[in-house]
Amino acid sequence: MSPLIPAIASADYQLLPKFTHKFKWSMPMTNAANQINQSSILFPKMPREYPLVGYAPALLGDPISFLDSIGRLGNSHFEFSLFGKPMFVATSKDQFNECLLVKSKDFGFPDLYKNMATVIGNGITATPDGPYWKKKRLLLQPRFGQRSIESFLKHFVTIAKSNALKIKSNQATPMSVHQLAMDSALKSLFSCLFSKTFDQPNVFEDFRDISAIVGKRFWMPNFIMTSKLSPSGRRLSKHISMLDDLAYSVIDERIANKEEAPEDFLSFLLNSKEPGTENALTHEQIRDELINFIFAGYETTACLLSWALILLSRHQDYLSLARAEALRIGELNSFADFEQCKMIKAILSETLRLYPPVWVMIRQAMVDSEICGTKVKKGSNVLLSPYLLQRQESAWTNANEFNPSRFLTDGTHKAGAYYPFGHGPRHCLGNHFAMSEAIAFVFYIVRDFDIDPVAKLPAPQALITLQPPMDTKIHFHALS
Ligand code: HEM
């Protein structure tokens, strides 16, 4: 084995040499009200490919710059190697469609995702394609359909209103927008999953740490994910125990108080049968699904909430339009009220276009195949980045411009270059959940508060999800 790989494996990622300065470029800000940062390439060449580790330093060091540089090459696709394995980068909507939908049997669940199972267990997200996954999907999908999540809406509204109260009592000073969003997203998710919220500040820090560690280890060979040789590995193992304790404690508590079981996801799982059998789910299976849903639905939604507020603060015209809509509707009392929030929904859709929380998806060629005429060898990974696709000028008019109206009028998104929730058989189960939660969050903020513009658009941090920095602050002012 190469001496380089164990060196990376045992090191905290932060200790890796900083190769990235070689190909970083500046991201000048423009003052035009409607402009997102436009990158200008100082080093037009691709970052260097190193022996054995390939483009790993580029991808792990600064993934967004790496993707931007690929986008700017304008090639129909791009190939590189990562730890000796070929990686095909899809760059067009047709390639996304072919890989994720049309040839979903050729391009399946990748070994890289199996890494995740060691952290989050064997819930649906980490279950490889096949009959067992399909049965799970059939079991869980109906609970997350557009109308089925109606029972969750009241939780979203309660949390959104408590956010507004919290903001009101803190309005003298600017608040960390991502802290607010993470707090809100975790409370919403916990309320819907098992009707409980936890006021432990450590939980957020633990999750952020998990995301940072897993985000880097995700790309590395399997054995690194669970390695406890480094401090981050030991921290990860502690975090996993924390998650186990949390999940098992809510399961035990619910079983002890069966009579008063609320209508939540935990009750649904406790009353479900193991796919294809008459057996109730084991506690371990229930733990796995709960943890999976926390992983799939927490940070992703928190990122959407944060970026939406950051963008709204910088686009006061859309803030006013969203407020006018919220004032006209008044309160979110029913599914129909949520349905009326067309402007807020458009703002959220545009936020997901520019800052897709899941900035990368991976598939693996199960057989020798082709993507839009280019041969892809069995075993190769395919990298599909909604971030890369959704900012392409060839697919979107003024791609870097924040323009929610495009989701109301011109229908560009229908052209298919828009996959924030994935595509094909494994597309997101929680898309309606996330959008409804985000509508409630934005609704009660824009209705009740003015937001000072965030002076500088923060650069996104590509961990497992595409996050704003924790120190991005927003100053709210209650409207009288
Ligand atoms: C803005 C928020 C969210 C975004 C952007 C998002 C995005 C995605 C994407 C892109 C995938 C597909 C990954 C792939 O194909 O490799 C996915 C899968 C999934 N998402 Fe979401 N998600 C969000 C929120 C949620 C929420 C709130 C839940 C649940 C409460 C959820 C549950 C899931 C599950 C279970 C899967 C795996 C489905 C399967 O493997 O069959 N997501 N999500």
333 CA to centre of ligand 1 in angstroms: 26
Into how many domains does the chain fold? 1
Q: Is 430 in the pocket of ligand 1 (CB under 6 A)?
A: yes
Alpha helices per DSSP H over 378-458: 386-390, 431-448
- H/E stretch holding 310 reads helix 283-314
**81 Cβ closer than 6 Å to some ligand 1 atom:** no
pTM for this prediction: 0.89
Residue 152 lies inside a defined structural domain of this protein: yes
* Ligand 1 centroid to residue 23 C-alpha, Å: 32
Report how far residue 126's alpha carbon sits from residue 216's, in angstroms, rounded to the nearest whole number: 17
pLDDT score recorded for residue 411: 59
| Ligand 1 pocket check for 433: Cβ under 6 Å | yes
In the prediction, which pLDDT does 414 show?
A: 58
Cβ pair 363, 382 in contact under 8 A: yes
What stretches of 52-186 adopt beta strand conformation (E)? 77-82, 85-90, 107-108, 175-176
Looking from the CA of residue 362, the nearest atom of ligand 1 is 16
CA of 22 relative to ligand 1 center, distance in Å: 34
Q: Is residue 97 part of a domain?
A: no
> DSSP assignment, residue 367?
S
| Residue 404 falls inside a structural domain | yes
Probe ligand 1: pick from 353, 428, 463, 464, max atoms within 8 Å of CB? 428
Q: Which atom of ligand 1 sits closest to the CA of residue 133?
A: 41
User: Per the structure block, which two tokens stand in for 458?
Assistant: 């923060």
Alpha-carbon span 363 to 107, nearest angstrom: 5
CA of 429 relative to ligand 1 center, distance in Å: 6
Shortest-distance Cα residue to atom 21 of ligand 1: 428
Ligand 1 binding pocket includes 422 (Cβ within 6 Å)? yes
Encoded tokens for 360: 């990368």
Residue 50 maps to a domain: no
CA of 275 to the centre of ligand 1 (A): 20
126 in ligand 1 pocket by Cβ < 6 Å? no
The answer to whether 407 and 349 are in contact (CB under 8 A) is yes
Is 186 near ligand 1, meaning CB less than 6 Å away? no
Residue with tokens 């669970």: 226
Q: Which of 97, 149, 300, 355 to mutate to test the pocket of ligand 1 (most atoms within 8 A of CB)?
A: 300
Q: Is 301 in the pocket of ligand 1 (CB under 6 A)?
A: yes
Per-residue model confidence (pLDDT) at position 199: 65
Local structure of residue 126 (DSSP, 8 states) = G
Q: What is the pLDDT of residue 248?
A: 94
Q: What does the pLDDT read at residue 27?
A: 29
Whether ligand 1 lies within 6 angstroms of the CB of 420 is answered as yes
Vertex 64: Cα angle to 105 and 70 (nearest 5): 70
Closest to 468 measured CA to CA, from 17, 37, 117, 31:
37
Q: Is the CB of 357 under 6 A from ligand 1?
A: yes
Confirm or reject: Cβ of 124 under 6 Å from ligand 1: yes
Q: Is residue 165 part of a domain?
A: yes
Question: Virtual CA dihedral for 139, 142, 145, 149, nearest 10 degrees?
Answer: -90
Distance CA 362, CA 330 (A): 42
d(CA 11, CA 17): 11
**Residues belonging to the chain:** 480
Among 123, 157, 108, smallest CA distance to 243 is for: 123
The single-letter DSSP state of residue 122 is S
For residue 363, give the ligand 1 atom closest to its CA: 16
Asked if residue 281 belongs to a domain, the reply is yes
**Own/partner pairs for 424-428, CB < 8 Å, 24+ apart?**
424/100, 424/101, 424/104, 425/101, 425/104, 425/129, 425/137, 426/100, 426/104, 426/109, 426/129, 427/100, 428/296
Residues 6+ apart with CB under 8 A from 169: none
Tokens linked to 179: 């802290």
CB 387 less than 6 A from any atom of ligand 1: no
Do the Cβ atoms of 80 and 54 come closer than 8 Å? yes
* pLDDT by 10-residue block (mean), the chain, 480 residues: 30 30 30 34 56 79 85 77 85 93 96 81 92 94 86 95 94 92 94 83 77 78 72 87 90 90 92 90 94 93 98 98 98 96 97 97 96 93 94 88 88 76 96 97 98 95 91 94
Question: Residue 263: which CATH number?
Answer: 1.10.630.10
Residue 436 resides in a domain: yes
CA pair distance 262, 270, nearest whole angstrom: 12
376 found inside a domain: no
Quick check: 128 and 426 in contact, CB under 8 A? no
Query: Would you say the C-alpha torsion 438, 442, 443, 444 has a positive or negative sign?
Result: positive
Give the pLDDT of residue 53: 75
Question: In one letter, which amino acid is 473?
Answer: K
Name the residue range of residue 336's domain.
105-353+396-478
Q: Is 361 a pocket residue for ligand 1 (Cβ < 6 Å)? A: yes
State which amino acid sits at residue 268.
F
